[in-house]
Amino acid sequence: MTNRRSFLKKAGIAGATGAAALSAPAVHAQSMIKWRMQTYAGPALAAHVIKPAIDAFNKAANGEMEIELFFADQLVPTSELFRAMQRGTLDAVQSDDDSMASPTEVTVFGGYFPFASRYSLDVPVLFNQYGLGEIWEAEYAKVGVKHISAGSWDPCHFATVDPIRSLADLSGKRVFTFPTAGRFLTQFGVVPVTLPWEDIEVAVQTGELDGIAWSGITEDYTVGWADVTNYFLTNNISGAWAGSFFANMDRYNELPAHLQTLLKMATDSSHYYRQWWYWGGEADLRVNGTKMELTTVPDEEWAEVEAAALVFWDEIAQESEIKAKVVQIFKDYNDTMVKAGRPYRYG
């Protein structure tokens, strides 16, 4: 009798457990999605321009996804970022189109396209209100890459060993800069030099480089270039670097919709961080920085550079229909800004 009662008791428990199991939803173990992303920036710069956003994404993803972040040239050289992402060696990239040599019609406009912007807010307005975002998305989709979002960085200034106080002082200067910016500056005697990002500081110290035209003053201080250069030219060739977040299209499409949305929000937060970090930093270091002396080319002389940029725009526009469309957007946008007057354009 005791054995029978024990059996019935156990059977009752088993039956209840079985019923509960039948009514409960199935739970399947799901492995975490892991991505590898490389930025164009070295560790000191990445601490501002991307790491906070990726750390926030990983926290908000709550164990569903994790992005492992790599810095400049850590896995592949910056010039190979696009190919590595296209192949799937990297899942995502933060860079400008120009530096990573992407094979698209819009590559030339990434980084510092001469005088395409005057202020950092110009870049997001151009992408979100003037149609550049749709053009970039379509062009990258053709080559298997998702263009996630674009934003602005700092303006492009010269940091040099010797002072630049006139256009003549540019002649013969060996300068680390972006491909398109270098192409434009050669008409003023600048000699563009391409080197790995982490080698720049030493190249200035050894005399291989006379200067850098890759950033504003905030980056010069942040990454150590202000320690090896003596002068900062207040004239610039662009008001803001234009860069983006990209992903391998297949890997992006594999993400559930809520993670795609979270990724977009994280990249937008990165763009926002840079808006105030650079804007405030550029002014503060010009006024309070102690490492570089400020120099200026007179406005009437620098106007020659600005005029040359418009000629350069027309030359680029002749290269393809898409390039002509982008150049026209720049022209229309700047025309609107000039007509709007202060604070949009003046002087």
> What's the pLDDT tens digit per position in 198-228?
899 999 999 999 999 999 999 999 999 999 9
For residues 92 and 250, what is the distance between their CA atoms, to the nearest angstrom?
11
CATH code assigned at 170: 3.40.190.170
Q: How far is CA 155 from CA 96, 104, 314, in A?
A: 14, 24, 22
pLDDT at 22 > cutoff 50: no
189, 172 in Cβ contact below 8 A?
yes
Neighbours of 183 (CB within 10 A): 17
Same domain? For 279 and 320 the reply is no
Same domain? For 77 and 224 the reply is no
Write out the residue range of the structural domain in which residue 230 sits: 156-239+292-340
Neighbours of 273 (CB within 10 A): 17
pLDDT of residue 60: 98
pLDDT of residue 196: 87
Same domain? For 216 and 266 the reply is no
Neighbours of 38 (CB within 10 A): 28
Same domain? For 196 and 310 the reply is yes
Domain count for the chain, please give it: 2
Same domain? For 54 and 161 the reply is no
Omega of the bond prior to 343 within 30 degrees of 0, cis?
yes
pLDDT at 3 > cutoff 60: no
249, 145 in Cβ contact below 8 A?
yes
Same domain? For 142 and 51 the reply is yes
115, 306 in Cβ contact below 8 A?
yes
Arithmetic mean of pLDDT over the chain: 92
Paired tokens of 316: 């680029």
Nearest by Cα to 183 from 107, 122, 120: 107
pLDDT at 295 > cutoff 70: yes
* pLDDT band at 26; cut points 50, 70, 90: very low
Same domain? For 62 and 138 the reply is yes
160-208 per-position pLDDT tens digit: 999 999 999 999 999 999 999 999 999 999 999 989 888 999 999 999 9
Evaluate whether residue 3 is within a structural domain: no
Q: Which of 18-22, 280-284, 323-327 has the lowest mean pLDDT?
A: 18-22
Evaluate whether residue 9 is within a structural domain: no
Evaluate whether residue 196 is within a structural domain: yes
Same domain? For 162 and 248 the reply is no
pLDDT at 298 > cutoff 70: yes
For residues 322 and 210, what is the distance between their CA atoms, to the nearest angstrom?
36
Same domain? For 245 and 311 the reply is no
